Structure 1
Amino acid sequence: MAEHLLEVRNLSVEFHTAAGVVHAVKSISYHLDKGETLAILGESGSGKSVSSSAIMNLIDMPPGRISSGEILLDGRDLLTMPAEERREVNGRRVAMIFQDPLSHLNPVYSVGWQISEAMTTHGLAGSKAREEALRLLRRVGIPEPERAMRKYPHEFSGGQRQRVMIAMALALRPDLLIADEPTTALDVTVQAEVLKLLKELQRETGMAVLIITHDLGVVSEIADRVVVMEKGAIVEAGTVREIYKNPQHPYTQKLIAAAPGKGAMHEPGARAEPLLSVRDVRKTYGSFEALKGISFDLMPGETMAVVGESGSGKSTLARALLRLDEPDSGTALWKGRDLFALSPAELYKLRRDLQMVFQDPTQSLNPRMTVYQLISEAWVIHPDILPKAKWRERVAELLVQVGLSAEHMSRYPHQFSGGQRQRIAIARALALEPQLIICDEAVSALDVSVQAQVIELLDRLRREMGIAFIFIAHDLPVVRDFADYVMVMQQGEVVELGTVREVFDTPRQAYTRALLAASLSPDPDAKAGHLASVPAEAADILIPKRSH
């Protein structure tokens, strides 16, 4: 019998590129036992996803190459196993769920067919596979599972899609589940529910879980041990408590120090003439009321955080304010002029003052344009801002401001990680030196240290240039560190509005208390992410009514 379920020994992975060889993983070793959860913690480019892809044989070769090492599953080396045996291992013994389920679920097949396919591929009869798919959808909490079997991925919310992917991964009852950033873009309550589901399923099946993440809160919530990676190498390993309470390596210390939610709260100054005054904004889609009379004021240089779960109306509000969607009624006075009443020509002139950073940079960045073209496009549209001779110099400055380098300007979006693409989107928004930036989950996919760096950048721009922010987020510790005011939305309505101190220290509404209780803490002794810690009256709001 093998000593460990999974043992990775001296694994090295390299990629051959036009610019030379990139050593993505450098002789790493770790192990994982049955029923155990191991977290691989690190930032974009640390090699954590590449190392897990090697276990599943998902590295494109070429340009990739596993240059050394062994990956032992119950003592057998997956790297030397014949291809037919390796195919039997994938899915049946080792399964994987990915960060972005919409990109990994086939858009042209129903989810029932896709879950069933995982089983029929490994020899299960079609009728039995459909029965098991239905049982799995029911088990992972998908509402109306019979109907859900016939639905397509785009018909589910992000949390539901992640649950569908978990059902697919569990179809063959694997011994090892690899979860690559499984909760990055999810609301705090949905994230807590997904992690709780993984823990329940682990207890039921005894499977081992290898979770790849940059979120210290997720690590403290679900992991038994942690491996910390930097630049392809393991720099530290230990139990969750050892790593958090007594980190030895400077990189681990930097990650823990960068965790949000520990700084001083902002104390907003006196409020005078608002930059933006929103009154009774409403928006419906058919019979669905997305916005039900939203009102608030925003001063110059102020940050209004908007929090709430998926479907609460946060993004609809942002799109309405920018006239990307036309509201049904209400007013939004920008320096006394109603944005909703402006003609297209008048609105065009104001576009440079109002910018937006979207949640998904993969969708918002044109894949056919280089980074230089993406950022300088703003000056093509508004040529009076900057002479063309200074474009390259300014693009380089903006890239450095958001934590990238000037040499990145010749690359295309697909050549960057998700966090790097979001930094490019922020640089593009800053190119026009706007007076208001609407950030729609702009830092949700960033590494903790990069997130801290970007928040510090935005805070500095607010202080130095007087830029105001509408900051839509589900990461409440980040909101606590960055916002002046917090607006809590639920089902299209504002249920609470106050200073960050009022909302975080003395929340009035049960829904707000539920959001705060479900937020994950990086401190393993706090265990704030457990839904068991949600106040009873708040739990009644979140758990029975939500199925994703």
Structure 2
Amino acid sequence: MAEHLLEVSGLSVDFHTAAGVVHAVRGVSFHVDRGETLAILGESGSGKSVSASAIMNLIDMPPGHIAGGSIRFDGRDLLRLTDDQRRQINGRRIAMIFQDPLSHLNPVYSVGWQIVETMTAHGVARDHARAEALRLVTRVGIPDPAGALRKYPHQFSGGQRQRLMIAMALAMKPDLLIADEPTTALDVTVQAEVLALLEELQAETGMAVLIITHDLGVVAEIADRVVVMNAGEVVETGETDAVYRNPSHPYTRKLIGAAPGKGEMHAPLSPTAPVLSVRDVVKSYGEFRALDGVGFDLMAGETLAVVGESGSGKSTLARMLLRLDEPDSGVAMWKGRNLFTLPPAELFALRRDLQMVFQDPTQSLNPRMTVFQLISEAWVIHPDILPRARWRERVAELLAQVGLRPEHAARYPHQFSGGQRQRIAIARALAMEPQLIVCDEAVSALDVSVQAQVIELLDRLRREMGIAFVFIAHDLPVVRDFADHVMVMRKGRVVEHGSVRQVFEAPREPYTRALLAAGLDPDPEVQARRREARLAAAL
């Protein structure tokens, strides 16, 4: 018997690019034992996903190249196996679930066909594979399992697609499951359900789990041990609680220090006349009522966080406020004028006051435009804001304001990290000198330290410039640190609305309490108590 189920030793992975060789992984070593959960924690570019891809033989070569090291699974070096030998292991003994299941499920085949194919490719008889697919889909909690097998990936929610991906990965009862950021884009309650499902399945099968994440809360919830990676190297490893309590490396201490939800909550602002008053907003799509009588007030320099699960109406509300969609009824008074009834010419003039920062800057920034063009486009559309002679100077000022350098103006969006692209999106919004910015999940996909930097930037802009924010989020610790007031939505309705302190410390509604209980705390002891409380409540 091998000492460890999986043992990675001195792994180095390079990528050959036009700009030279990128050393993505450098001398990485770690191991996973049977029945154990190991978390690899690190930010974007740390090399954690590349390491997992090397285990699964998923690195494109070229441009990738495994420059050194070994990956021993059950005593055999995977890097020395033939392609046929690897196919006998991948899927059968080592399986993987990915961050975005929609990108990894084939859109033209039913999910049942895809789960069955996972088994028939390894020699399982088709009739047995069909019966096992039904059992697996039932086990992972998909409603109407028999009907679900006939559906296609787009017909499921994000959480359901992740459950289907888990069912597919477990079809051959693997010894090792690799989960690459499996809950990053999920609501807090769905995230808790998926992690609980992984723990239950691990207890049933005895498989080892290697989970890759940038979320300290996920590590606290599920991991026995943690490996911390930075710039392609392992900087710290140890038992989860020990690493959290006594981190030895400065990078680990920085990650723990950047975790949201531990700072001082905002004190309530002195009441003034609201700049935005929303009343009785209704929006239906056929029989489905996305918004059902939503209303709130927002003062200058105030942040209102809108929280709730997918389908609660948060993003629909954001689109209504910006008139990207039209409401069926309701009023949104902005400084005495109803946004919902303004004629096109008046609405065009008013758009400079109201800006939006979207969740994914990769999709909201034109890839064919430089940063200078992206930011100065606002002044092309509204030429009265700034004379052309000052454009370059002002772009440099805006880039400095969001923590970037003037020379970045000549680059294109793909030449920046995700956090930097989000900063560019914020700079573009600021170019209009707005009084209200709607942030729709603007920090949900960012690494914890980048997220902290962006939140600090938005909070500084709020204080210095008096900008009001409607901050749509499912990350409750971030909301706790940034918001003045919190509005909780469920199925198109407002179920609770109050100061951040009242909502977080004395929530009135069971749904709000359920959301808070499902949140993950980076402290393993706190998270263990929450887990025990959930289990006790379920009995």
Q: TM-score, normalised by structure 1?
A: 0.93
Shift in Å, 1:396: 4.9
Shift in Å, 1:116: 2.0
> 1:145/1:414 Cα in 2 relative to 1: closer, same or farther (>3 Å)?
farther
Residue aligning to 1:546: none
Cα distance in structure 2, aligned partners of 1:264 and 1:159: 32
Cα distance in structure 2, aligned partners of 1:50 and 1:135: 33
**1:425-504 mapped onto 2 (5 Å cutoff):** 425-504=425-504
**1:206-217 mapped onto 2 (5 Å cutoff):** 206-217=206-217
Cα distance in structure 2, aligned partners of 1:405 and 1:61: 35
Residue aligning to 1:169: 169
1:318 to 2:335 alignment: no
Please say if residues 259 and 449 of structure 1, whose CA atoms lie closer than 8 Å, have aligned partners that are also in contact: yes
Please say if residues 269 and 302 of structure 2, whose CA atoms lie closer than 8 Å, have aligned partners that are also in contact: no
Shift in Å, 1:500: 0.4
Cα distance in structure 2, aligned partners of 1:339 and 1:168: 48
Shift in Å, 1:363: 3.3
**1:39-50 mapped onto 2 (5 Å cutoff):** 39-50=39-50
Please say if residues 521 and 529 of structure 1, whose CA atoms lie closer than 8 Å, have aligned partners that are also in contact: no
Cα distance in structure 2, aligned partners of 1:196 and 1:44: 25
Cα distance in structure 2, aligned partners of 1:26 and 1:479: 37
**1:292-371 mapped onto 2 (5 Å cutoff):** 292-371=292-371
Cα distance in structure 2, aligned partners of 1:528 and 1:491: 30
Residue aligning to 2:80: 80
Please say if residues 47 and 230 of structure 1, whose CA atoms lie closer than 8 Å, have aligned partners that are also in contact: yes
1:130 to 2:130 alignment: yes
Cα distance in structure 2, aligned partners of 1:372 and 1:147: 51
Number of equivalences: 539
Cα distance in structure 2, aligned partners of 1:309 and 1:247: 34
> 1:235/1:202 Cα in 2 relative to 1: closer, same or farther (>3 Å)?
same
> 1:383/1:91 Cα in 2 relative to 1: closer, same or farther (>3 Å)?
farther
Residues 40-49 or 144-153, more deviating: 144-153
Residues 269-278 or 370-379, more deviating: 370-379
Shift in Å, 1:490: 1.1
Cα distance in structure 2, aligned partners of 1:536 and 1:498: 29
1:288 to 2:261 alignment: no
Deviation digits for residues 482-511 of structure 1, max 9, x if unmatched?
000000111111111100011111111111
Residue aligning to 2:109: 109
Give unpaired runs (5+ residues) of structure 1.
Answer: 541-548
Give unpaired runs (5+ residues) of structure 2.
Answer: none
> 1:482/1:346 Cα in 2 relative to 1: closer, same or farther (>3 Å)?
same
Cα distance in structure 1, aligned partners of 2:406 and 2:398: 9
> 1:51/1:415 Cα in 2 relative to 1: closer, same or farther (>3 Å)?
farther
SS in 1 for 2:91: helix
Residue aligning to 1:533: 533
Cα distance in structure 1, aligned partners of 2:244 and 2:292: 43
Please say if residues 235 and 249 of structure 1, whose CA atoms lie closer than 8 Å, have aligned partners that are also in contact: yes
Please say if residues 261 and 480 of structure 1, whose CA atoms lie closer than 8 Å, have aligned partners that are also in contact: yes
Please say if residues 375 and 427 of structure 2, whose CA atoms lie closer than 8 Å, have aligned partners that are also in contact: yes
> 1:493/1:77 Cα in 2 relative to 1: closer, same or farther (>3 Å)?
same
Deviation digits for residues 394-443 of structure 1, max 9, x if unmatched?
44554554455556555554555544443443333233232111111111
Cα distance in structure 1, aligned partners of 2:422 and 2:147: 36
SS in 2 for 1:385: coil
Deviation digits for residues 331-363 of structure 1, max 9, x if unmatched?
001111111001222212222221112223343
Shift in Å, 1:64: 1.4
Residue aligning to 2:155: 155
Please say if residues 309 and 490 of structure 2, whose CA atoms lie closer than 8 Å, have aligned partners that are also in contact: yes
Residue aligning to 1:27: 27
Residue aligning to 1:8: 8
Residues 249-258 or 520-529, more deviating: 520-529
> 1:399/1:153 Cα in 2 relative to 1: closer, same or farther (>3 Å)?
farther
Shift in Å, 1:281: 0.3
Cα distance in structure 2, aligned partners of 1:441 and 1:203: 34
> 1:453/1:120 Cα in 2 relative to 1: closer, same or farther (>3 Å)?
same
Q: What is the percentage of aligned positions where both structures have the same residue?
A: 77
Please say if residues 514 and 535 of structure 1, whose CA atoms lie closer than 8 Å, have aligned partners that are also in contact: no
Residue type of the alignment partner of 2:189: T
Shift in Å, 1:512: 0.8
**1:214-225 mapped onto 2 (5 Å cutoff):** 214-225=214-225
1:279 to 2:279 alignment: yes
> 1:135/1:406 Cα in 2 relative to 1: closer, same or farther (>3 Å)?
farther
Please say if residues 303 and 485 of structure 2, whose CA atoms lie closer than 8 Å, have aligned partners that are also in contact: yes
Please say if residues 283 and 292 of structure 2, whose CA atoms lie closer than 8 Å, have aligned partners that are also in contact: yes
Residue type of the alignment partner of 1:296: F
SS in 2 for 1:340: helix
1:378 to 2:378 alignment: yes
Cα distance in structure 2, aligned partners of 1:408 and 1:122: 50
Residues 252-261 or 122-131, more deviating: 122-131
Deviation digits for residues 106-129 of structure 1, max 9, x if unmatched?
222222222222222222233332
SS in 1 for 2:527: coil
Residues 65-74 or 217-226, more deviating: 65-74
Residues 430-439 or 470-479, more deviating: 430-439
Shift in Å, 1:303: 0.2
Residue aligning to 1:89: 89
> 1:288/1:75 Cα in 2 relative to 1: closer, same or farther (>3 Å)?
same
Residue type of the alignment partner of 2:59: I
**1:501-520 mapped onto 2 (5 Å cutoff):** 501-520=501-520
Shift in Å, 1:232: 0.8
Please say if residues 221 and 530 of structure 1, whose CA atoms lie closer than 8 Å, have aligned partners that are also in contact: no
Tell me which stretches of 4 or more aligned residues in structure 1 moved more than 6 Å. none
Cα distance in structure 1, aligned partners of 2:502 and 2:428: 34
Shift in Å, 1:389: 5.1
Residue aligning to 2:191: 191
Please say if residues 116 and 133 of structure 2, whose CA atoms lie closer than 8 Å, have aligned partners that are also in contact: yes
Tell me how large the CA RMSD over aligned residues is: 2.1
Residues 395-404 or 453-462, more deviating: 395-404
Residues 199-208 or 403-412, more deviating: 403-412
Deviation digits for residues 199-253 of structure 1, max 9, x if unmatched?
0011111111111111110000000001111111111111111111001111111
Residue aligning to 1:38: 38
Residue type of the alignment partner of 2:98: F
Residue aligning to 1:61: 61
Cα distance in structure 1, aligned partners of 2:507 and 2:275: 27
> 1:444/1:108 Cα in 2 relative to 1: closer, same or farther (>3 Å)?
same
Residue aligning to 1:239: 239
Cα distance in structure 1, aligned partners of 2:286 and 2:166: 32
SS in 2 for 1:525: helix
